[in-house]
Chain A
Amino acid sequence: MANKKVDVAIVGVGWVGGILAAELTKAGLTVVGLERGHDRGTPQWQDDHDELRYAIRYEMFQNTANETWSFRHNLNETALPIRQLGAWLPGTGIGGAGVHWNGQTWRFHPRDFTIKTSTIDRYGASMIPANMTIQDWGITYDELEPYYDKFEYMAGIAGKAGNLRGQQIAGGNVFEGPRSRQFPVAPPPDTPLMALFRRATKSLGYHPFTGPTANLPVGYTNPDGIARAQCTYCGYCERFGCEVEAKADPTVTVLPVAHKTGKFKVINYANAFAIKNDGKNAQSILYYDSMGRVQEQPADIIVLGAFVFNNVRLLLNSKLGTPYDPTTGTGVVGRNYAYQTGGGGASGWFENEEFKRYMGAGALAAAIDDYNADNFDHSGLGFIGGGSISVGQSGARPIQSLTVPPGLPSFGSQWKAAVQKYYRRVVQVGFQGESPAYKQHYMDLDPNYRDKFGNPLLRITFDWQPNERAMIAFAGNKTLQIMQAMIPGAQVAKGGPLTPTAPGTISGGPGSLPAHFDTTAYQSTHNTGGAIMGADPATSVVNSYLQMWDTHNLFVVGACNFPQNAGFNPTGTVGALAYRAAEGILKYRKNGGALV
């Protein structure tokens, strides 16, 4: 027997599910959220500084024994299942990845939303490689700005505007799009490391600023009346929950608001596997309960608000939308899978300066945006795109933060002595790059492998491309230059003997990507695409309200909507899209039909 029908049923109770639950229940709708994981909250994080349990053994992440993905580099390979977590770490449980994130909360650039048009306008069509399928979002930055603002005030994002209603402000990110108002919270003060980065990048003519953060530097009460405390800089953000609620996450911001209305219900251990539909309307969510029994949750409106992979897999399993065909370039579901291009960073080991690296917060960082997006002239460089460059102080946990300069042993007494010496003296200038979309990068259902319930795994086809290789080589030279300004006179390690009297040692230079994408080592959880938004049903799954073109009572929301990925963390944009979808759902509820 099916559950009681509700106004809205949502798959996934992370940032998207939480925001929608809060907004829709405040408007009087009844909402059910289906969450595959367990309930959890702040009390569980009081004693969670266990790096082995949470960061190494992946306490908060998807269990690949139950559900995983298959992966291949190109159409000629047979995909194999990913049996252990590696390159990415999707969360599970109430709050989703919003519980274990770091809190970096960016807005994408205006150019990111019009990337194809802007690139052609500035450089001509020949600048875009033949197989690159980047496209405009079907929504502009200015249209999305009010929703970014809503997310930031709900979450209490700390930062300094660099562009307030079109006026550039020194000390903020002068490359960002216009903000309608200042951040809700002032940025945290610089640590000595951030101050050093700021001085070094200024001396090179760049425009440093404090990274926008969801880790509260002071107490904050948001427009819903939710009060949260300031950060203690314990350094356990990424892969951990926050025991003082300083890090904005759905369990301490939007979910309490939804529950307070009395109109929101969560069903835990609910593994959604299909959306029952008649081709025009979504009718219910089919899911396995904690006992593995099939259950049904009917609703007038259904939202897919799970992680990228799960949203796309649900569409494909439910035969909703036309699956993408990479040989013809037709179809939409699974199209434009993209990732995040890392590498291109520089590491520096100081001989004469120490930093309190053990203190920090996930998004405590100083950054420059001079080499992101199209903020610099790409003429003659042979690539499009860029990335954010930053130095972060997110904490230095005892297992994963023990690096020593190149050339020193990786075990034994010499290594131990070097670890003791350099634990407080190593810093990294990181680069987080764009990932354009390509014709051959996509997601579909695997013909060979299935999950524990018998449903096909999602198959991912992806590899590094020349455009990103050239971008990373370029970025590596820039981060090296910054590191050299941070440690004047330092030697650059090139495989030969090192000089003991140098004031520091740097590992850096032209960045490189491996011959093929490697799924085994962590790189980023910023997977995007597959249910992309746009202005044309022939090249997108959803419209600018995240409403499915062919099924009007179905909304698909998340990073799956990104037509390609930008050089920033995605959560700010995911939050903005969730607020946009909430508005669309209320409009649909009132008038029905296509919203665009």
Chain B
Amino acid sequence: MSDDLGQYEGKWVAMRDGRVVAHADDEETLRARPDVADSDLLFPIGEPPSGFYLINV
């Protein structure tokens, strides 16, 4: 399992102790995997931002 998050763009990853331990196309599939623990941190990896993103200065 690579820790280069660039490989997981558009996917969900499970992270344990700072390392990626599993990945899947969506959250539901990832949570259902037997190698994913309840205590793992789950989040999606997005794509680089495009266009303008006004967050207000």
Contacts and interface: CB of A to CB of B under 8 A. Distances in A.
A101 B50 CA distance: 22
Contacts of B54: 238, 394, 400, 522
Contact of A363 (B41, B45, B46, B56): B56
Contacts of B45: 469, 512-515
Contacts of A89: 57
A432 B9 contact: no
Chain B, interface residues (CB within 8 Å), range? 20 to 34
Contacts of A511: 44, 46
A97 B57 contact: yes
Contacts of A521: 48-53
B6 A516 contact: yes
Interface residues of A, number: 41
A239 B49 CA distance: 20
A473 B43 contact: yes
Interface stretch (A27-35, A152-160, A523-531): A523-531
B55 A515 contact: no
Tell me which of B6, B15, B46 has the highest count of chain A C-beta atoms within 10 A of its own C-beta. Answer: B46
Contacts of B50: 521
A102 B53 CA distance: 14
Contact of A518 (B4, B7, B43, B48): B48
A343 B56 contact: no
A159 B44 CA distance: 36
Given A515-B9, A518-B48, A521-B48, A342 B53 contact: yes
B56 A466 contact: no
A362 B56 contact: yes
B51 A473 contact: no
Interface string B6-38: 111100000100100000000100000000000
A311 interface: no
A372 interface: no
Nearest to B54: A238
Contact of B43 (A100, A340, A469): A469
Contacts of A104: 56
Interface string A530-570: 00000000000000000000000000000000000000010
Nearest to A494: B26
Given A466-B15, A466-B18, A512 B44 contact: yes
Contacts of B9: 514-515
Contacts of A178: none
A189 B50 CA distance: 34
18 contacts: A238-B54, A342-B55, A363-B56, A382-B41, A392-B56, A394-B54, A394-B56, A432-B56, A469-B41, A510-B43, A511-B46, A513-B45, A514-B46, A515-B9, A515-B46, A521-B48, A521-B51, A524-B55
A-B interface, 9 closest residue pairs, ranked by CB to CB distance from nearest: A512-B46, A515-B5, A512-B44, A469-B43, A521-B49, A515-B6, A102-B56, A518-B48, A473-B43
Interface of A: 89, 97, 100-102, 104, 238-239, 340, 342-343, 362-363, 382-383, 392, 394, 400, 430, 432, 466, 469-470, 472-473, 510-516, 518, 520-526, 569
Interface of B: 4-9, 15, 18, 27, 41-57
